[in-house]
Amino acid sequence: MDQLAKARAFRALHERNELFIIPNPWDGASAKVLASLGFKALTTTSAGMAFTLGKPDGGVTREGSLANAKLIADSVDLPVAGDLENGFGHGPEDAAEAIRAAAEAGLVGGSIEDATGDPARPIYDFEFAVERVAAAAEAAHALSFPFTFVARAEGFLWGKPDLDEIIRRLQAFEKAGADVLFAPGLPNIEAIRTVVKSVSKPVNVVRGGPGPSIAELADAGVRRVSLGGSLSRVALTALKRAGEELLGSGTFGFAEGILSTDAVNRLMRGQ
């Protein structure tokens, strides 16, 4: 599929009245493995990408993030969206430029969050946050294909766990032109259900640990489920445990049941 076809396929996933899972690869190999399993779309992870470079989440430049996103998009014949963090800058023009750059990298969707990256003032003021979303939405909708723009309200991740304020922001983001709405860190299925009922656009929920099942999220009206950096942490956990076994018991139990080199080569060839 070319970018237009991927964008249309991605938009169609959001228009169906059913939930889909959009996992988060962190490099070309993880993207190919996930594509081989039958997922219909992928989205990048800022955390997983940063971990790949030996950096903490948030420690990657726009250029580095988009180079990673292009690598993933070029590795699979699936729609790929991007975690664009806060647009890699504070101004509305930065959010808009992040959308345009994501499109140039081959992505067909992307998210912009309202977190500042400044612990002293972690969330953008309401009006400014809406301006940023409006600028990003305008850039997305001016493209030659249907780029799916996701607006994120980050209060629950940054010490502002006010559900009414989150809903106020998501409703404003919807009016400003966002195609999908996302409030990571919602505490329970009741909060998720409340958010879904408060807006008319599709809602994304991120899962990566204990909590509601896919069936429960579907029943609550969630349209898509992403996994954030959790799959990359699964891989790092397996690596850590293998190293601990080698230095501890000196055994090789970690190698039982792993993919052979030939099997991985076939996955990388798309076989």
Q: Render pLDDT for 191-200 as a digit per residue (tens, 0 to 9).
A: 999 999 999 9
Q: Which CATH superfamily is domain 3-229 in?
A: Phosphoenolpyruvate-binding domains (3.20.20.60)
Report the DSSP beta bridge partners of residue 203. Answer: 181
Q: Render pLDDT for 47-65 as a digit per residue (tens, 0 to 9).
A: 999 999 999 998 899 999 9
Residues 6+ apart with CB under 8 A from 10: 41, 79, 81, 108, 109, 148
Q: Render pLDDT for 116-167 as a digit per residue (tens, 0 to 9).
A: 999 999 999 999 999 999 999 999 999 999 999 999 999 999 999 999 999 9
pLDDT of residue 256: 97
Q: Which amino acid is at 32?
A: K
Tokens of 67: 């180079």
Percent of the chain scored above 70 by pLDDT?
A: 100
Q: Render pLDDT for 158-178 as a digit per residue (tens, 0 to 9).
A: 999 999 999 999 999 999 999
Q: Which amino acid is at 168?
A: R
Residues 6+ apart with CB under 8 A from 115: 86, 122, 123, 124, 152, 154, 157, 158
What is the reported pTM?
0.96
Cα separation, 83 vs 90, in Å, equals 16
What is the average pLDDT value for the chain, to the nearest integer? 97
CB contact at 8 A, 166 and 197: no
Look-up: residue for tokens 């879904």?
196
Four-point Cα dihedral 256, 262, 267, 270, nearest 10: -160
| Statement: residue 115 has pLDDT above 90 | yes
